[in-house]
Amino acid sequence: MEYNMKEEKGGIRLEGISDFEPSHIFECGQCFRWARKEDGSYTIAAGNRVIRVACRKGPAGRRGCTLTLKNTDIEEFYGKWQDYFDLQRDYGAIKETLAENDDVMRKAISFGEGIRILNQDEWETLISFILSQNRSIPLIQRSVEALCRRFGPRIGTFDGKTYYGFPEPEALARAKPEDLGNCCLGYRTGYVLKTAAKVAADPQSLYKIKEASWAEAFQALNDFPGVGPKVANCIMLFSMGKYESFPVDVWVRRLMNILYGIGEEGEKEIGSFVRRQFGDLGGFAQQYLFYYARTRGLGKRQQTEKNKTAEAKQERIRRKKNVDRSDR
């Protein structure tokens, strides 16, 4: 991507950025350490640094938007944030390929056209998505922040707030279960402790997984306690650049059924469809679909179905009462 960069007070400014919308990037479920401000900007802690990101449309006739990054400089941008935001990748071409002969995908893309898949740290992604299982996104965010405040390094203040980095493997490995218990982890506490111990014993082995093939990486990640197929796909997609990964969760399963009419036959049907339909761009497709489903409320129970379950509930109660009566 071609863009102009200027250093300004307290940060930098990039003009001519295309396919970049902070709300799409941070609210498509790939990242948990962000906070939205009233003005639409996002503050993020990553890699023991804090930045604030804002994007506004350029002057009429100019392509792309103007991106401002606060609390950083040009050197750090090239060393860290350019890769973190995946700015070297041509998302226009990706969207064009995905939308070709696929009206569902074209519509999904129109809702999340500014999505980019961040390049996050493997260790942070590993633990974050172990925490994600069977929980809603606000709760996951709360747990991650609690871990950082309790066990992470203090990385400074910005905008009048104190920020903490993600805890080192050592810090979580030697944490006491009762301390972790204060972070709303539930039964995931044991997973975090065991996985942290495994990584702390040999941190390099985690970072080597990125170089392995998809199948080998998938297997290696599944060997961590608390990591199964879905979480392994998330880690590979969000921190290892394995973009053919396609995490399937409850949202995606329902959405694939509603939008593409598949999945009734089970998980394997989705896998083969995804490979055929999206090829090695499956991960990008998943993010567009996930954002679309969440912003449109797809996958939430429809009103009619909700009424059905309410009726079924009433029916169960009524029958139970009848049983109780017949007992007498």
Give the footprint of DNA on this chain (CB under 7 A): 28-30, 132-140, 181, 184, 186-187, 191, 222, 225-232, 234, 247, 249-252, 266, 286, 290, 309, 313, 316
Residue 53 or 255: the one with the smaller Cβ distance to DNA is: 255
User: Is residue 7 within a helix (H) or strand (E), and if so which, with residue range?
Assistant: strand 4-8
Give me the least distance between CB of 16 and DNA, in Å please: 29
By beta-carbon proximity to DNA, the closer residue of 158 and 214 is 214
- Name the DSSP class of 5: E
Q: For the CB of residue 202, give the shortest distance to DNA in the complex, in Å.
A: 18
d(CA 314, CA 124): 45
> Cβ 131 to DNA, closest distance in Å?
10
* 288/95 Cα distance (integer angstroms): 9
- In whole angstroms, the minimum distance from the beta carbon of 194 to DNA comes to 9
- 127, 33 Cβ separation under 8 angstroms: no
- Taking the least distance from each CB to DNA, the nearer of 14 and 252 is 252
> Residue 255 in contact with residue 289, Cβ under 8 Å?
yes
The secondary structure element, H or E, covering residue 177 is helix 177-181
Min CB(187)–DNA separation in Å:
3
Q: Which is nearer to DNA, 223 or 280 (CB)?
A: 223
CB of 102 to DNA, least distance (A): 19
Distance CA 216, CA 21 (A): 33
Which CB atom, from 107 or from 194, has the smaller least distance to DNA? Answer: 194
Judged by beta carbon, residue 13 or residue 149, the one nearer DNA is 149
- Residues ≥6 apart with Cβ < 8 Å to 10: 70, 71
Half-sphere exposure of 204 (CA within 13 A, CB side): 0
Task: Name every residue whose Cβ is closer than 8 Å to that of residue 9 and which is 6 or more positions away in sequence.
Answer: none
Q: Which is nearer to DNA, 157 or 219 (CB)?
A: 219
Closest CA to 42 of 32, 57, 52, 56: 52
Residue linked to tokens 């990584």: 199
Cβ of residue 182: shortest distance to DNA, in angstroms?
A: 9
Whole-angstrom CA distances from 58 to 19, 85, 267 are 13, 19, 44
